[in-house]
Structure 1
Amino acid sequence: MRYLFLKGGQIVKWLFFLFIYLLSSTLISIAGEFPNQPDRMAQFLGIGLISSAISLGFIGWRYWVQLQANNPRNFGKYPITWQKVSRLFLLFAAMLVLQYIWSLLITLGILQFPANQQAVDVAANQMPFWNNLFAVAVAPFFEELIFRGIFLNYFFAKNTKWNNFFGILVSGLLFGLGHEPSFDSTLLMYSAMGWLLGLTYLRFRDIRFNTALHIMNNLLTVI
């Protein structure tokens, strides 16, 4: 009973972190709905940016508290080396290959253009600077903390082979569902990106690496 209560509370907390992230991003998106009302646009944009800063600071703090309480994998305790940076760029190359295959399948008509990316493109056209800035410099921090850092520490904390495997699998699927809620081939592609990011997190034992990989990936979509 105590275990169920603990896990139930963690599920509620994780969903709350996800909610405040989505709320912040939604407020910024709403600002773009008022292109002819600069005062209203500035109002929603300001609220969204303040909400994002507070929410990201809070989630980052909760992640830090988690690691202080339970950190069997020693996340964040290994030094950054040039060898690790070079390996990160190899993983980035793998992500480029994944993106290329995805684009090719869309071009061939095998996959549909993702609805999530369509929404991102529409938002970017409404407020190019702010929405692109959020997508590249803010969203990756939120998503890596929520889908990798906090999620794995809550539900797959044990440092075992199978626990790490299932942790990457489930967190990647949730990441995919967060971008494509339909059970189709597009979900599989988003999940594959989530799996690669999860693998990076557990391989380097430092959330800065998978966040950097996520940033580089999102940067490609806005260039």
Structure 2
Amino acid sequence: MKKLISILMLVFSSFIFASSDANSASMMRTLKVTGTAYISAPVDMVVIHISNKDTKRTYEEAFEASKNALIKFKHELLSKGFKEKDLKTVDFNINTKYENYKDENGNYKKRFLGYQYSHNMKLNLKLDNSKLTKVLNSLKTIKGQSEFYLSYKIENTDKIKHKLLEKAVENAKNNSKIIASASDVDLKKIISIDYSSSQINSSVSPFRGELKIMGTNLNSDSILDINPENLKFEDTVTISWEIN
């Protein structure tokens, strides 16, 4: 009988101890603080986005025209010191082209015009106005309708991402210390760190142009006034602390 009573008391004591631990865990006080970091960095690359298109009577003529335009443009680039692999095709297609018109009865109809090819390309350069001018002048050798726009970017953003994370964590820690001190509590251990990686914008496009309105020749002075703004980056990290 005494042995049975001893066992029951031991079980009861263990239950009380476990309940006490559970209550302590549920009563844990926490502090959650989000740190934010901002970085502004200058661009170091320029991307020339090129669009060339033309309409021909037959599919074969459209394909041949697109091929000849590309060959001539590449030849111009090679003569100016660029490599053939520098020019990348983004998209190429040949589609039928129609126009809407009214017949003698005022009804809208479609008229077949031919086959239009569209060739979208891009060329990446280190920030260099003289090379940029050479490419833009070479574009004038392409037959058909050609347009372009420039986008400026940062080639390698990994260092920026790492620096953002460091600054965001540092900001979260500093803010936590300030809040804890002002609230007369002590920071203990970190319970969790929440971070969701996001895609950062690494380019800006300040200039667009059509070759037919840019005059007969360009020189480096024509584009020196283009001063791309710095790219701005932001990131956040949330830290949860146990406090007492």
More strand by share: 2
Normalising by structure 2, we get a TM-score of: 0.22
More helix by share: 1
